[in-house]
Chain A
Amino acid sequence: MNLIRAEVERLAARRFVQLMVVLLAFAFAVTAATTLAGSHQPSASELAQAQQEAMAERREMEVRHANCLAREQGAPPPVEDYGYLPGDCSELDPALRDRLPVTADYLNGVFTFTRQAEPLLYFLVAFLVLFGFLVGASYIGADLNSGGVVNLLLWRPRRLAVLGTKLGTLLGVTLAVSVLASVAYLVTFWIIAQVAGYPGPTDASFWTSLGAIWGRGLVLVLLATAVGFAVAAMGRHTSAALGAVAAYLVVWELGGRIVLEILQAARPDQLMLSTYVGAWLTGEMTFWDNSACIGDRHGQFGPGLAFGYCDGSYTLGWPAALAVLLLLTGGLTAAAFAVFRRRDLI
């Protein structure tokens, strides 16, 4: 318990951590201020007009769908021209749309919480991932480099316990900062929407969806923190983690992707970590596999071809993404502990 207290104090006293918290607050303040400055509370007439426009758009969609169905059943074409009607009427079915037009879509210069909470949350998660990774890497990297770990081991000569306490403390503090920051962030924008914007229709599904992104975002922050810590611990320096990430991004995500495309490898996205990060954060991601619809030299087509129509898309869900991310983080962390256990501290 004493060690945890000391580590929390050590972490909180670090200049880099303080700087990152200030940057977080600054980014938060700038986003909130610009949102506040660029938004106004809609008047009753603006709101009424936007509601009418949204309703009219929904009605038009229903009419077009009804016309399409009527055409399928052999009815004469309508007097009014509704333009092109697709062969498959389900494409026009409003019930199958991801989302229907809502009032907020027709409010100009108005911050609408239900429309913008999601992208705002993604931005915050991205910042917190960066925060966690850098703080995690610098916390152990600077400690190993400055002799702090050696000093501590002279007091507590249990290497795994010391490293484990450091990682546990780091994850705990990062989680606390992330929860506090994200709650403060969302509450602030909710208040902005109330006083200088439009909250939008916040039903249970909205909050469930936002909560799921928030929860997955927090897990991603913790994973990034652990990866930063583990790589810096193995490399004995903060820059080891930064270098490893830069090298991975340039060599694999950029160079590897190009090479895989040249080689026409099947589903190259599946080999990229960014794919799993995206799939985890959004819950599901759909990718296109070029090779599925390309014929080989014998004229045989890939597995996507069916009934003359080629669908090369494939989907990655959050469970697979979580498994990959956990495997990577767990592997790196286990390696860091194994290396630290046997390492000569000179």
Chain B
Amino acid sequence: MPSGVIEIEGLRKTFHSVRRGRRVAVDGFDLRVEAGQVHGFLGPNGSGKTTTLRALLGLVRADEGRMSVLGAAAPDQLPRVTGRVGAIVESPQFFGNFTGYRTLRLLALAGGVPVARVDEVLEEVGLGDRGHERVKGYSLGMKQRLAVASALLKRPELLILDEPANGLDPAGIREMRDLMRGLAANGVTVLLSSHILAEIQLICDHVTIISRGRRVAAGPVQEVLAGFDRAECLVRADDLVRAEELLLAAGLTVTGHGDHLVVGGVPDPVTVSRTLGEQGVWVRELTPLRPDLESVFLELTGTTPHPGVPRQPDGSTPRPDPTVIDLDDVRGVDA
């Protein structure tokens, strides 16, 4: 088994505060990122994502657990590999009166990176024209680009990005996606934390989902999604009542939803069209229902919104009836 670029085992961190008391942020969390992966790191607000990344980068002291980055034990041996790791954690803040160029120049100086690299990364993240303006005049998206630029300065082998698309407009998100893809294509390993699940699904090949400080799912994105595939189809037909009878008679599970049916236990949609067609019921629409990352995420983290049920402070929502899983809440339509 190859050594992981990032390895976290049994990470535990509790914060103590006089006002807020004791709060377990990370509770025995595991994470493994292999070389060359673009690894998505998902979790609701307050689930422990940022604490995990901070602990990994030596900004927060872990109570328990073992961590390593590029083979170096974190945080003690981090200085050995830090020149090969680019990172941004949460919404990075910069000194408002400094220009973007000066901000990066100071980091480059401190890190022993040639200052000429500053102009290159500013171009790379689309701040080439605005680099000599003061950071306090930047939009949130521009600050985010500046943060990514700071992480890219070192030409890292490993990039750890916490919410890099935060505050970006759609065009910016697409640029960021292309940037990540380009980096991955050049062999850079990327650990990407984000709330934009569709983006993660588009960019990442592996994913780890954290909820309440614990890992609830991990693996290749397609495998994680396949674990939630209930082999369902959405069916619209000219005679919905008759269609339901025929499908039930064929041994399939059927749920009526007004103008359509959801048919379960369908390994191949052909089964549905054949069953109905042979009995003279004509199918208007037959759509395989595949889980997407959002639905899987919401189900795993218990954050699926329910009408009339307020969210809890940790982002979760209590289910109206814990014995019944509402498929509409966890299902998405794979267009």
A residues bordering B, Cβ < 8 Å?
2-3, 5-7, 9-10, 13-15, 142-143, 146-148, 150-158, 342, 344-346
B residues bordering A, Cβ < 8 Å?
15, 51, 54, 57-61, 75, 78-79, 82, 87-89, 92-98, 102, 105-107, 109-112, 150, 154
Interface CB pairs A-B, < 8 A, 9: A147-B92, A147-B94, A151-B107, A154-B88, A155-B82, A156-B110, A157-B78, A344-B54, A344-B61
Cβ B60 vs Cβ A13 within 8 A:
no
Which residue from B59, B92, B154 sits with its C-beta under 8 Å from A153?
A: B59
Residues of A close to B87: CB separation below 8 A: 154
- Specify the main secondary structure of chain A where it touches its partner: helix
Knowing A3-B110, A13-B102, A148-B94 are in contact, say whether A153-B79 is a contact too (CB < 8 A): no
Known: A147-B92, A150-B92, A344-B59. 6 other contacts (CB 8 A): A2-B109, A2-B110, A3-B109, A157-B78, A346-B51, A346-B54
Cα distance A8–B75 in the bound complex, in angstroms: 27
Nearest CB in chain B to that of A154: its residue = B87
Cβ A345 vs Cβ B106 within 8 A:
no
Residues of B close to A148: CB separation below 8 A: 93-95
Cβ A156 vs Cβ B59 within 8 A:
no
Cα distance A344–B14 in the bound complex, in angstroms: 11
Cβ B59 vs Cβ A346 within 8 A:
yes
Residues of B close to A157: CB separation below 8 A: 57-58, 75, 78-79, 82
Nearest CB in chain B to that of A344: its residue = B60
Cα distance A151–B93 in the bound complex, in angstroms: 9
Cβ A346 vs Cβ B60 within 8 A:
yes
Nearest CB in chain A to that of B106: its residue = A6
Tell me the minimal C-beta distance from A106 to chain B in angstroms.
Answer: 53
Cα distance A157–B154 in the bound complex, in angstroms: 15
Nearest CB in chain A to that of B111: its residue = A155
Tell me the minimal C-beta distance from A345 to chain B in angstroms.
Answer: 4
Cα distance A3–B82 in the bound complex, in angstroms: 15
Nearest CB in chain B to that of A156: its residue = B110
Nearest CB in chain B to that of A5: its residue = B109
Cβ A158 vs Cβ B79 within 8 A:
yes
Tell me the minimal C-beta distance from B299 to chain A in angstroms.
Answer: 29
Which residue from B59, B96, B106 sits with its C-beta under 8 Å from A10?
A: B106
Cα distance A153–B88 in the bound complex, in angstroms: 11
Instruction: Name which of B59, B60, B78 has the most chain A CB atoms within 10 A of its CB.
Output: B59
Cα distance A146–B88 in the bound complex, in angstroms: 14
Tell me the minimal C-beta distance from B74 to chain A in angstroms.
Answer: 9
Tell me the minimal C-beta distance from B154 to chain A in angstroms.
Answer: 8
Cα distance A156–B60 in the bound complex, in angstroms: 15
Cα distance A346–B58 in the bound complex, in angstroms: 11
Tell me the minimal C-beta distance from B324 to chain A in angstroms.
Answer: 39
Cα distance A14–B98 in the bound complex, in angstroms: 8
Nearest CB in chain B to that of A150: its residue = B59
Which residue from B75, B89, B110 sits with its C-beta under 8 Å from A6?
A: B110
